[in-house]
Every structure is written in C-alpha cells, then in structure tokens.
Chain A
Amino acid sequence: MRYMMFVVADPDATAEAEPTPGDLTIEEWLADVDGRGKRIIGERLRPLSDATTVRVSRGQVLVTDGPFTESKDWICGFDILECEDLDEAIAIAARHPMARGGKLELRPFWPGDHA
C-alpha cells in the first residue's frame, strides 16, 4: 500500500524539550527508511512565503500569493511510502523527527494511480 506522508510544521507547538534516547535525527530516519526500501521519494518544501495558489474560474487563471488554507499549520515536506499496511506506515511516521513538535499526516493513495 502506498501512502503520502505530509510533514506538517506547527508554529504554535511548544518545542518538544530534550530529546529522549532513541530519537532519530532526520539523517538516521532516512537511512533507516531508505535502507529498508520503504520510501519512494521525499522532499523538503520551501516555506509558505514562496507558495503560489492557482485556480481557474470562468476560464480565467487566478493566481494568488501564499497557501490556500488559513490554517497556521503548513506542509514543510512530504515522503511517499510503500508499506505493508497502515501499522507499518504509523511506525515509520512515529520515528520521524517532526513527529515531535510537528505532526505527520498519512494519506493512502487512491488505487490505480500507480502500477
């Protein structure tokens, strides 16, 4: 099963204090997930000040500056995971450094979009 994992930053989150032993750095997380072939692709994204929203209304392309939601949370990266099932994806997300202080959203792919 393929999942899109959105990495979400929460500006209001109280910075998770001291890391506990066993917490992974992003490099360690990548090494683990890539080493097991669980990640198809993943990238970090530039901040909302660099975002552009596009929509079309009555044939007119409307381009606006910034994100399309009012929410303070913003997606700062993503990874596409290939997992056995949701429990495996949850375990991978729980080890991501942004799980502390930020959050991760797992979205299963609509089937048929990949071979």
Chain B
Amino acid sequence: MVASLIRLTGDWALAEDCVQDAVEKALRHWPEAGLPRSPAAWLTTAARNRALDVLRRRRTERAKLTERALLDDAARTDKNRDDRLSLIFTCCHPALPLDGRVALTLKTVAGLNTAQIADAFLVSESTMSQRLLRTKRKISHAAIPYRVPPADLLAERTDGVLAVLYLVFNAGYGQPEGRLADEALRLVRLLADLMPSSDEARGLLALIMFQQARRATRFDAAGDLVPMEEQDRARWDPVLTAEAHHELRRATRSGRPPGPYWLQARIAACHASAPSARATPWHAIVPLYDALLTAQPSPVAALNRAVAVGFRDGFAAGLDALDALDADALAGYHLLPAARADFLRRLGRTREARAAYEDALRLVAEDGPEARFLHRRLAALPISQGECT
C-alpha cells in the first residue's frame, strides 16, 4: 500500500503518513461500523483520499500533477506487483548506505516498525530512526529512481537486492530466535515470486529454506551452537526441506550458467539429503565449491572448500588445504583457526589443537555463542602428556 502511494506521489514521507492515517481511521471506524468487506481496499482508498487532501492543500503545480496520477490510478487495474518490486529495488539501491538499505527494506517491504528493527540490530530506536530518515532523504535528494531497473541493469541490481536479503537472513541466523531470518525468508519468497525468471532469486530461496529447515537443531536448550555434524537430523523440518528441493529444481530450468546462490543451495541440498553426517557426499560437495569459487571467488568459500577436502580426502589433507589458503584474506576470521583446530583434534594432535582453539577464541566476541562453542571444544580435549605440570 505504501509502495503504490510512493509510486504515485514520489514522496516517501507523505505516503507513509497517509497510510498511517488510514490505519488510525480504521481503528476508530471499524469497531463501530464493523469490518468492511475488503479491509485492504478500504485502507488503500482511505490512504489515497488522505494523500489527495494533503496535495490539494499544497496547491502547487507539482501537487496538481501528482493528484492527477492518484486519480488515474484509482481507476486502473492492480499495479501491485510492479510497485512491490520497485520498492525493493529502490530500498536496495547501491547508492544508499548498506545499513540503510537493510533497515529501509525491513521497514517498507517487510513492514517491521522502527523499534523492531532497532531491536534486531541492537541499536537504539532513535539511532535507527535517524538511519531510516537519512536513507529516505538520500532517495529523494539524489533522485534515486523508483522503478524496476531496465534490462541492462537488472541482473546487477538483482544481485544487489539478493545480497541485502541474504545479509538480513544471516543477521538473524546467528540468533536463537531469529525473527530476521523469518523476515528474510518471507522477502526472498516474495522476490522469487515477483521475478519468476531469476534463477538466483530462487537459488537464494532454496538456500535459505535448507538453512531454516535445520533451525530447531542449530542451538541446544541452553542456546549454545550445535555443529551440523551433531545436529539431530530427525528434527530437520521435512516440509521446508522438500520445498527447498523443489525450488532448487525450478531454478535450473533457464539453462544459464549457475550462479553463486544456486551453487550454495546445491551444497546445502547435499547436506540435507544425507541420512547421517558420516554419509555426507563430500565427493559431490568439493566440485560444487570449485564451481562456486569460479562463479564468485571469495576467501570464505575457499575455506569451506578446504574443509570439504578434509572430509573427503582425510584430515591431514584437509590441514594441507587449509595451509594453502590465502591467510591474509582470512585474517581476523575465527573459522580458519577453528577449522585447523578441528582437524588437529580429529588427528589426535591435541597440543596443536589447543593452540588453534585459543587462536580462534581471540577472534570472537567474549561470551557469544561462538566463544561458548570453542570453550566447550577446548574443555573436551584430552590432556596430553607434557601438559600435566
């Protein structure tokens, strides 16, 4: 609703105010008069009428033009789909600051309120409301267009939108409650519906579904992280997993070379299909990481590939693969020493494992779920000879 008013008036603040006003009117009106037959249509009309009132009072040339657009639109068919897509693309425009893109998408597309977004990102409500304001101002001051990008920009801008949505998901994925993860799933589902020919949107949808399906098993009762190897696979959500497999199949029909989200979803599918951690098809996973590194080189993907090599070819080979990584690119990333520690532990090289766990601990927030996990691993190491002093 906000989306269509923004398109018609080109004024974010006006659109939001009018919708807010319509909702307040509904709250006063509906309890007495009863629920209208179509509450959504009632609200849309009320918001549009409110916008017309405001514009008429402004009496400027521009306001007159906008007023005409509003009246024309009232007579026209539903442009909802284009509106929602335009809104997503505008909120995720690369000229906006990244934190602003995330916040504005959650506000205007997902419909969260400022307090909820502030909560999710652990900032104060006033900080978040400033961030939203600055972002909206830049849209209007810099004339960021409100539209679905033209064909020559579409692929690049879609990647940008997917990156924002995946960021929202990952922000929520690290938390036991994970409201953001749910919102991200909803948003990516919406995007995949709106852009049925985008394999990458569908690939990201499948990837998020596979990850969400494991959600109940990722944390134990104390809120501590459980690694995938130790998760109770019987509790992985079979409905969501089946849906993810379905989306993944749908995303392979365009015949274009596979993109990074689709490839990551394929990897997640390998894990999801394995009846046990021991039965994980590592021989299939390593080549998928190779393809991922070609499609989108990244130090984290290279690290994951090295871990997969360790499970396929043996932990000593895995250590070699880890040592061959670009350590500078991964400097400060705790999962590199954590992966070394894990292979050393499995090889029985306890003293080196201990040192590597301690390296990893220096790189994570004290008391966070990662730190608690590493401490548990460290405590579970056998005490080796020479260490009993």
Which residues of A are at the interface with B, using a C-beta cutoff of 8 A? 1, 83-87, 90, 106, 108
Contact = CB atoms under 8 A, between A and B. Distances in A.
A108 B141 contact: yes
A75 B181 CA distance: 44
Contacts of B95: 86, 90
Interface of B: 93, 95, 141-145, 149, 153
A85 B86 CA distance: 15
Given A86-B95, A90-B95, A108 B153 contact: no
Contacts of B153: 87
A87 B145 contact: yes
Contact of A84 (B142, B145, B149): B145
A57 to B, nearest CB: 31
23 contacts: A1-B142, A1-B143, A83-B143, A84-B143, A84-B145, A85-B143, A85-B144, A85-B145, A86-B93, A86-B95, A86-B142, A86-B143, A86-B144, A86-B145, A87-B144, A87-B145, A87-B149, A87-B153, A90-B95, A106-B142, A108-B141, A108-B142, A108-B143
A30 B153 CA distance: 23
Contacts of B142: 1, 86, 106, 108
Nearest to A108: B142
Q: By DSSP majority rule, is chain A's interface helix, strand, loop, or mixed?
A: mixed
A85 B145 CA distance: 6
Q: Among the interface residues A83, A86, A108, which one has the most CB atoms of the partner chain B within 10 A?
A: A86
Nearest to B93: A86
A85 B144 CA distance: 6
Contacts of A85: 143-145
What are the nearest 8 A-B pairs in CB distance? Answer: A1-B143, A85-B145, A85-B143, A108-B142, A86-B144, A86-B142, A86-B143, A108-B141
A106 B145 CA distance: 15
A1 to B, nearest CB: 4
Nearest to B95: A86
Given A83-B143, A106-B142, 6 more contacts: A1-B142, A84-B145, A85-B145, A86-B95, A86-B143, A90-B95
A108 B95 CA distance: 12
Contacts of A87: 144-145, 149, 153
B157 to A, nearest CB: 9
A83 B95 CA distance: 16
Contacts of A90: 95
A26 B37 CA distance: 62
B317 to A, nearest CB: 37
A61 B261 CA distance: 60
B104 to A, nearest CB: 16
A72 to B, nearest CB: 24
Nearest to B139: A86
Contacts of A83: 143
A31 to B, nearest CB: 21
Contacts of A86: 93, 95, 142-145
A47 to B, nearest CB: 29
Nearest to A109: B141
A100 B250 CA distance: 39
Among A83, A87, A106, residue most surrounded by chain B Cβ atoms (within 10 Å): A87
A84 B153 CA distance: 16
A97 B213 CA distance: 49
Contacts of B143: 1, 83-86, 108
Of A1, A83, A84, most B-chain CB atoms within 10 Å: A1
Contacts of B141: 108
A83 B143 CA distance: 9
B345 to A, nearest CB: 43
B100 to A, nearest CB: 15
A103 B272 CA distance: 46
Nearest to B141: A108
A85 B143 CA distance: 5
A29 B99 CA distance: 34
A108 B142 CA distance: 5
